[in-house]
A and B are shown apart, each in its own frame.
Chain A
Amino acid sequence: MSIQKRRVDVVVILTICFFFGLMQGIAFCGALDGFAGLEGTIAIAGGTAHIPVMNDAAKNIMTVNPGIRITVEGGGSGVGVQKVGEGLADIGNTGRALSEQEIAKYGLKSFAFALDGVAAAVHPENPVGDLSPQQVRDIFAGSITNWKAVGGKDAPVHLFCRDEASGTREVFWEKLLKKGPVAATANIVASNGAMKVAISQDKNAIGYVGIGHVDQSLKALKLEGIAATQENAMNGSYPVVRKLYMNTKGEPSKLVRTFIDYVMSPECTDIIKKYGYIPLK
């Protein structure tokens, strides 16, 4: 008796779920019309900053059209170029513009879809909150080694930088350090996450992270009064920004083209904003 009743309940719940699913599908269809009638697979690899956006876009598309399979892998910008260039992925993501050699070797085509800011960051308890670009340059070059020199307490500066392959490092070095020297004594960490851990644990640390990664565990430094926020990055007053790119080998296929159009469409702006990036359109 009770088993039968429970079974009826399950059927009711499943039916409700089914209708909700259907409605959701209908609601999405407006933004995802282009995928109707298409099927196939899209392999995406490369830049780690892109992953959350790619995953959400892929989820929306695959919910509406189960005939499309989209796989998203990381590996970093360099890996993205290699994979798309060698034909191992349909889209190779980079957090930097491609080098001329890369374009020449593989014949790649770039699609920029979002803007990401990079902020110099310190421990939340550090009294220093505002530096000039020159002070930041001096700190990273190793000529300022004590926080006292920039109005902080009497303590040594602990430098943290990112690895050579990092797009975050590249934009910080080019746009804020103006390709200046970086002290050889600086510690190197391998990801935005590792940077956050290092800074949040060390009261004398300074490093840099993508603005999307800033939270209460660290404090983003102002540059001469300009806060490192998405708003300031968008209106151009905060200068340390980079574009996020999707790259294809030559002209993309119809399916890949539709995916790129979707990521760059107004419907995807909410996803891009949700992860702390700024849509380009």
Chain B
Amino acid sequence: MQEHARTRIPANHVQPVRERWIRRSLLIATGISAGAILFIFVLLVYFCLPLVNSGGMSSVLSWQWKPFGGEFGILPMCAGSLFLSVFALGLAFPAAIGICGFATVLAPRSVARSTLVMVHFMTSIPTVIYGFASVFLLVPLVRDWFSTGTGFSFLTAGLSLSLLILPTIVLVFHARLQQIDPALRLAAEAMGLTPVRQFLHVLVPAASKGLVVAAILGFGRAIGDTLISLMLAGNAPRIPDSLFDSIRTLTAHIALVLATDSQSMSYRSVFASGLILFLLMGAVNFLIRRLDRGPGENRYENGH
């Protein structure tokens, strides 16, 4: 007993020091990341200043992008980014819920596990692979099946993008489902609900906040992606008339214009695009935090 106590005292003595170090290094890491983000924001605003001062901002916030005709509107790209992300989310979200339902209540354990392993694997496929494969497989298909347009279109990019954000949504929502108190499901089972009804009427409502967070994360990933839209959407800077039209997103726009003459107006407009993208992503993140802290929704989850 005494022996035991004696060995314990130094351990207790060491712990706070180590803890202090951990806390300190974590604080430094947080500070650096927060500082970097703040710095990026300040830099973007700083680079946008000449645009505001020279009165170019109104030219940038217009609907025509004709850099060689003196028009530098980036609104079509903002619209392109928004439309494309909403479309991709609209495809991926129901599919993701379906996969979660399948893996949670319907599938035998081994099948459910292999499904989730596959979804995990999907997250590790680099974006450029999706883009590359789609250029050679999906683009000709879209062109030949619908026989309108070039195949480089809103639809092609939207389909590939939904594949890209699907695993994000599945994994976030599935993690939330796992946190639900098992007693809830047992109760539902005892009341004679079929697995599908359990999922739809008990599990999904109980994890409804997870649903929103998953959707917003997926949306953020979609709007931030560059390569898919750059390689597949066609990059015509205009509002599309149909699903088969070529569009350009903000991210692809930045990638395309960044290498131009650094003294030109096109180049300066890139910083306005960057700022808009930054604010958009910031708003999405803010939304997630707000929803994540919302009161009263955690009552069925473990540990609350």
Measured CB to CB, the residues of A under 8 A from B are: 75-79, 81-82, 99, 101-102, 105, 156, 158, 160, 163-165, 173, 179, 181, 184-190, 194, 197-198, 201-202, 204-205
Contact = CB atoms under 8 A, between A and B. Distances in A.
B258 interface: yes
Contacts of B143: 202
Contact of A187 (B235, B257, B266): B235
A188 B151 contact: no
B225 interface: no
Given A179-B68, A187-B246, A197-B135, A205 B259 contact: no
A143 B231 CA distance: 26
Nearest to B140: A201
Interface residues of B, number: 35
B256 A190 contact: yes
B234 interface: yes
B248 A188 contact: yes
21 contacts: A78-B260, A78-B261, A81-B261, A158-B150, A163-B235, A163-B259, A164-B260, A165-B260, A179-B68, A181-B69, A184-B66, A184-B237, A186-B236, A188-B235, A188-B237, A188-B248, A189-B235, A198-B150, A198-B152, A201-B139, A202-B143
Contacts of A185: 236, 238, 245-246
A198 B67 CA distance: 24
B257 A205 contact: no
Nearest to A202: B150
A158 to B, nearest CB: 4
Contacts of B263: 99, 101-102, 105
A163 B257 contact: yes
Given A164-B67, A201-B139, A202-B150, A188 B260 contact: no
Contact of B258 (A77, A105, A156, A165): A165
A23 to B, nearest CB: 43
B102 to A, nearest CB: 36
B230 interface: yes
Nearest to A101: B263
A98 to B, nearest CB: 9
Nearest to B66: A184
Interface string B249-270: 0000001111111110011000
Q: Which 9 pairs show the lowest CB-CB distances between chains A and B? A: A76-B259, A188-B235, A165-B259, A187-B234, A163-B256, A158-B150, A101-B263, A78-B259, A165-B260
Nearest to A75: B259
A204 B151 CA distance: 11
A78 B262 contact: yes
Given A185-B245, A202-B151, A79 B236 contact: no
